[in-house]
Structure 1
Amino acid sequence: MHELQGRHVLVTGAAGFIGANLVQALLRYGAEVHAIIRPNSNLWRIEKLLPDLYLHAVDITDREGLKKIVLETSPEIIYHLAAQGVSPAFQERYEILRTNILGTFNLLEATAPLDYQLFVHLGGSSEYGAKHGPMRELDCPEPLTFYGTAKAAATLLCQQHARANGRPVVALRAFSVYGPWESPSRLIPTAIRAALGDHELALTAAGFRRDFIFVEDLVEACLLALRAVRICTGEIINIGTGKQWSNEEVVDLIQAVTGRRIKVRVGAYPARASDKAHWVADIGKAGSLLGWEPRHPLRAGLEKTIAWFLLHQDDYDGLSQELPGPGARDAVSGPGSFAPLQTEV
């Protein structure tokens, strides 16, 4: 991606699972990456990348603080990944609303004076709610959760801003993303750790399905959006595989790849409102607009993920869920520099 060489790129949610993978790819292609993190973010995923990053600690609900950083960095490309509520550990409705809706509005307003090339908003399949067939971008959003509702509202904000102002804003609706650095509380990391550590695995009742997309494929879609900017104004594009797998099928594949048996207690994990027997993306639009298709079938993505886990098991020690940890207090700039650390209790 020679288009990224030397470009100023702003990434919100840079310390998260998807953010860390995207930042790594952007650095690999020579971009100047300005990473926005919450002031109390745990930097475990991006710790080794810090020497090459411009790190800025600010809550995106802080309108003036965010505006100051945006104007100082003058990004040419913006990736908006910051979100609240995707983890079961963070379900405070007011904070979900503030971050996902007000935070998105603040970023759109802060970047409005800039002549940027592209603004990518990362949405999610939770915006759709239950459907009887493959989920299509023109389907009416009918979210089943408060988080999904807030994300759908954020996507609509981006779409309205793009169309009203003729701005190059695109929303990528990611389905169930997995891969290196995923939260330890999620299905695939939990199952891998159960296999490698001979632990018991509590699983939902049989039959719930998801469209699992490998994080490298999602990152590639984010980068390819640069080449389709002229047709991306206000577009919503699904990023999935077009195939769905049950939780128990995923666990069976992990057992096959690792060669380890997992002690599974089916039905011991409570189902959520969004757990359904059918949940899969129609990815035709991603192919036609971005020239993108997933490169990793589930088994291939799991093989890469398990190989990565074998090298990084220590990173997950003591991390039973996504909890706030050490983070930078103030916005700073300059590769490799960040403010004094503090521990949130």
Structure 2
Amino acid sequence: MAEGVVLITGARGYIGRSLVDRLSGQYRIIGLDRAVAEDIPGLDASYAVDLADDASIADALAKVRAAHGNAIAACVHLAAYFDITGDPNPLYNDVNVEGSRRLIAGLQDFDVEQFIYASSMLVHEPKPLPDERIDESSPLGPTWPYPQSKADAEQVLRENRGDIPVVFLRFAGVYDDKGHSAFLAEQIAGVYEHRVSAHLYPGMLCAAQSALHLEDLTRAVERTIANRADLEGETPILVGEPETLGYAEIQDIVHCQIHGEEWTTVRIPKSVAKLGTWIEEEVLGHDGFVKQWMVDDANAHYILDISRARNLLGWEPEHSLRDTLPTIIDALKADPQDWYETNKLNTARVAW
């Protein structure tokens, strides 16, 4: 039997749909998104909301109260603006930061047992070497606008939460059995297409960032809600795989799986890589995937200590990127056109 109301912002999104599927039947699930969701099994109700508009949030929450009452077991705040350009964008503040403030302020009149904010491990300062792990006490130090907006939103929620307990789930980079990770998909495509540029990397070849399977992410949220009575005040929790593959290791696994042999990756100076991205964008007029900020972050290590997730949530990952990469590659080889479309890549590169 459904136990309490769970609000999910961004319910129509990639993570939101999977989370609705995970939680349906356990709770009454109410979706909030830019448009009403009419095609998601498991949603008990859905309301349109613009996080950049005070009146829109007030109207949506009034509808929630009128139809479902004042008691909310948990609000899971997934909705956010994101792009990979690395450039500042006013939507980072309007949606991610101020939108979070508007939402938590609007919930003050409700009886909310828990507010879960979908944050990122990237709010932390990266480590310079692979033998150092990041935990929740590690310094914050986001290196580009998207994670900066996440860090700013965390602070806004601390300042405006009132008596609502807030959990900051700092997720690693999300993927699933077909990829659905912009950075991983681009890396795989480079190897698949035998691009010369895919043999080059402007940083330590061991540079590694924790990953997180979509199913493990939704299970972490499920465990967070289930443990809400024990999570008081403000609780940051890192959520990701403790085993983290370096860039070159991913290259080797992918190439062996696709082409049956090892792949040679060569480290190049950052200045050369930046010149290459500048020529591609400014001289050739191509909208290349690699941006200047990615070159700057090529040595960044995000290797996580997930002790807190284990201790407070009883959670640890059931998947690993190492074990899932062959499944992702099998999906690519079975239907390259579909895989490229799924991962929002240029299908013209596989139109043969």
- The two structures share one fold, judged by TM-score above 0.5: yes
Whether the 8 Å contact between 2:125 and 2:138 is mirrored in structure 1 is no
- Code of the residue aligned with 1:115 in structure 2: it is D
Shift of 1:187: 2.4
- Whether 1:8 and 2:32 are equivalent positions in the alignment is no
- Whether 1:143 and 2:167 are equivalent positions in the alignment is no
Give CA deviations for 1:89-138 in whole Å, capped at 9, x if unaligned: 58442111111110110110111211123211011011112235211212
Where 2:40 maps in the other structure, the secondary structure is helix
Shift of 1:201: 7.6
Map of 1:220 onto structure 2:
219
Alpha carbons of 1:254 and 1:136: their partners in 2 closer, same or farther (altered >3 Å)?
A: same
Whether the 8 Å contact between 2:6 and 2:30 is mirrored in structure 1 is yes
Alpha carbons of 1:260 and 1:15: their partners in 2 closer, same or farther (altered >3 Å)?
A: farther
| Structure 1 vs Structure 2 CA RMSD | 3.4
Question: Which residues in structure 2 correspond to 1:70-81 (within 5 Å)?
Answer: 70-74=61-65, 75-81=72-78
Q: Which sections of structure 2, spanning at least 5 residues, go unmatched? A: 66-71, 274-289, 347-352
Map of 2:298 onto structure 1:
275
Whether the 8 Å contact between 2:248 and 2:265 is mirrored in structure 1 is no
Question: Which residues in structure 2 correspond to 1:29-40 (within 5 Å)?
Answer: 29-39=25-35
Give CA deviations for 1:212-250 in whole Å, capped at 9, x if unaligned: 121211111111002321332210000012232222322
Alpha carbons of 1:299 and 1:95: their partners in 2 closer, same or farther (altered >3 Å)?
A: same
Which piece of structure 1 moves more, 247-256 or 124-133? 247-256
Question: Which residues in structure 2 correspond to 1:1-345 (within 5 Å)?
Answer: 5=2, 7-27=4-24, 29-39=25-35, 49-53=39-43, 54-74=45-65, 75-85=72-82, 87-89=83-85, 91-132=87-128, 133-162=132-161, 165-179=162-176, 183=180, 186-193=182-189, 198=193, 200=195, 202-203=197-198, 204-205=201-202, 206-233=205-232, 234-257=234-257, 269=290, 271-306=294-329, 314=338, 316-317=340-341, 320=344
Give CA deviations for 1:235-267 in whole Å, capped at 9, x if unaligned: 000001223222232232234455667988866
d(CA) in 2 for partners of 1:30 and 1:201?
A: 50
Percent of aligned pairs sharing the same letter: 24
Whether the 8 Å contact between 1:201 and 1:263 is mirrored in structure 2 is no
- Code of the residue aligned with 2:126 in structure 1: it is A
Alpha carbons of 1:20 and 1:127: their partners in 2 closer, same or farther (altered >3 Å)?
A: same
Where 1:173 maps in the other structure, the secondary structure is strand
Where 1:250 maps in the other structure, the secondary structure is helix
- Code of the residue aligned with 2:303 in structure 1: it is V
d(CA) in 1 for partners of 2:9 and 2:168?
A: 14
Shift of 1:154: 0.9
d(CA) in 1 for partners of 2:160 and 2:196?
A: 44
Map of 2:280 onto structure 1:
none
Alpha carbons of 1:114 and 1:257: their partners in 2 closer, same or farther (altered >3 Å)?
A: farther
Alpha carbons of 1:318 and 1:78: their partners in 2 closer, same or farther (altered >3 Å)?
A: closer
Alpha carbons of 1:57 and 1:254: their partners in 2 closer, same or farther (altered >3 Å)?
A: farther
Where 1:317 maps in the other structure, the secondary structure is helix
Shift of 1:32: 3.3
Q: Which sections of structure 1, spanning at least 5 residues, go unmatched? A: 323-345
Whether the 8 Å contact between 1:8 and 1:73 is mirrored in structure 2 is no
d(CA) in 1 for partners of 2:4 and 2:330?
A: 32
d(CA) in 2 for partners of 1:25 and 1:262?
A: 38
Give CA deviations for 1:28-72 in whole Å, capped at 9, x if unaligned: x45433222235x9xxxx99x535433333221112212221232
Shift of 1:151: 0.8
Where 1:112 maps in the other structure, the secondary structure is helix
TM-score (norm 1): 0.75
Give CA deviations for 1:289-332 in whole Å, capped at 9, x if unaligned: 1111111122223345456665896375386469xxxxxxxxxx
Alpha carbons of 1:51 and 1:213: their partners in 2 closer, same or farther (altered >3 Å)?
A: closer
Shift of 1:16: 3.0
Which structure has more relative contact order (CA 8 Å, sep 6+)? It is 1
